[in-house]
Amino acid sequence: MAQAETAPRVALVTGAGTGIGRAAALALLADGWRVALTGRREALLAQVAQESQAGARAFAVPADVTDPQAVQALFDRVAQHFGRIDLLFNNAGTGAPAVPLEDLSVQQWRSVVDVNLNGMFWCIQSAFRVMKAQAPRGGRIINNGSISAHVPRPNSIAYTATKHAVAGLTRAASLDGRTYDIAVGQIDVGNAHTELAERMTQGVLQANGEIASEPMIDVGIVGQSVRYMADLPLSANVLFHTVMATKMPFVGRG
């Protein structure tokens, strides 16, 4: 806790160029954090850094989380640039076309697994290496799960399977991190209004086969939730946090 009180804390946000990652990065920067923004598209990262008006506290570093060597190089570069890493928001993710599972191609399946599961593990692994070695020791990891980590949507087997796996990563890493003062938690988001989720306002397939529009929440609310989790002392952890549109069809028999 002494580190947080004497110097700006350092966060690394994956998938920071758009959507939830962008919202979380902006919320952390507004809260005084130093933030490494990473993703595949450097131009989008630069736009977020400029929008934040945070100056040198925003550091755009393009990287591909599906490449374990690139991930290790990313964490080494951020730790060297800022001196440490206090927070990883493990956010990068992708989906597959909403098709019947028997029509999903091998490449489509592997692409989702490579980002949502493998990429998330590479980032957790690299964060552990940095956080165990730095002084003061420790840090926090927040994995971006999904309400799909609890219940599926129709025709979403790759996304749903990987998000269930993320919950396993969170539990196992939370246990393994205790010894090293590393707190690991997960945020599960339902219907945040991002570029990718815009189509849901026009109608999305329901479990009963109907097409219906669904309520959305401003993505900035998710950024606030990440900031809340990040601001906790390492002696406290939100293991699972669900933030969603109040009236979306998630609970009940809809």
Known catalytic residues? 159
Q: Which of 113, 196, 213 is nearest to 157 (CA)?
A: 113
Q: Taking a C-beta distance cutoff of 8 angstroms, is the pair 20, 219 a contact?
A: yes
Element (H, E) at 173: helix 157-177
Task: State how beta strands 192-193 and 240-244 pair.
Answer: unpaired
- The DSSP string of 202-225 is T-EE-TTS-EE----EEHHHHHHH
Across 108-119, b (16+ Cβ under 10 Å) vs e yields: ebebbbbbbbbb
